[in-house]
């Protein structure tokens, strides 16, 4: 029978939970806002492009994830997995909560772009760690 785990991960439940939760965070970046898009559009209805900008709130993070993920791989090699993961988690937390304290559609889009930056780092580190610890 082939081993699934390398010897580095056996007996390390926190590492396994970290990989599980960071993998889930990337999906939650889009899923958490999807239901609020109509309300965001209503809130900014006085803006002439409210429909477009409210839809961009959902798609901007994906654009930044796609553009920045290859560079995140280079940053992993340069600074290490843990440092990039911690920085990406900080960016994710800051940008993910930006909707609580920002009331400008352009700043919300900027916050969502930063969320994409955080997700790109988290996703890339998570995939790298899975490759490191699992066979």
**Mean pLDDT (whole number) for 121-135:** 88
The CB density around residue 6, as the number of other CB atoms within 10 Å, is 11
Which residues, including other chains, have CB under 8 Å from residue 19's CB and lie 6 or more apart? 126, 129, 130, 133
pLDDT tier at 29, thresholds 50, 70, 90: confident
Give dist(CA 36, CA 84) in Å, integer. Answer: 30
Residue 134, strand partner residues: 5
Per-residue confidence (pLDDT) for residue 132, from 0 to 100: 85
**CB environment 35-66: b (16+ within 10 A), e (fewer):** eeeeebbeebeeeeebeebbebbeebbeebbe
Give dist(CA 45, CA 38) in Å, integer. Answer: 10
Assigned token pair, 123: 């996703």
**Mean pLDDT (whole number) for 59-74:** 93
In this prediction the pTM is 0.86
Which of 69, 73, 54, 38 is closest to 112 using CA atoms?
54
DSSP output for 99-134:
HHH---HHHHHHHHHHHHHHHHHHHHHHHHHHHHHB
Per-residue confidence (pLDDT) for residue 97, from 0 to 100: 92
């Amino acid at each position: 029978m082939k081993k699934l785990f390398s010897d580095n991960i056996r007996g390390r439940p926190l590492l396994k939970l970290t990989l599980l939760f960071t993998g889930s965070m990337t999906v939650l970046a889009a899923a958490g806002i999807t239901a609020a898009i109509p309300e965001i559009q209503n809130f900014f209805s006085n803006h002439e492009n409210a429909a477009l900008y409210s839809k961009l709130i959902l798609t901007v993070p994906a654009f930044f994830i796609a553009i920045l993920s290859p560079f995140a791989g280079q940053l992993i090699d340069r600074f290490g997995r843990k440092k990039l993961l911690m920085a990406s988690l900080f960016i994710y937390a800051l940008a993910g909560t930006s909707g609580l304290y920002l009331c400008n559609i352009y700043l919300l889009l900027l916050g969502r772009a930063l969320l994409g930056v955080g997700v790109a780092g988290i996703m890339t580190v998570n995939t790298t760690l899975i490759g490191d610890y699992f066979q």
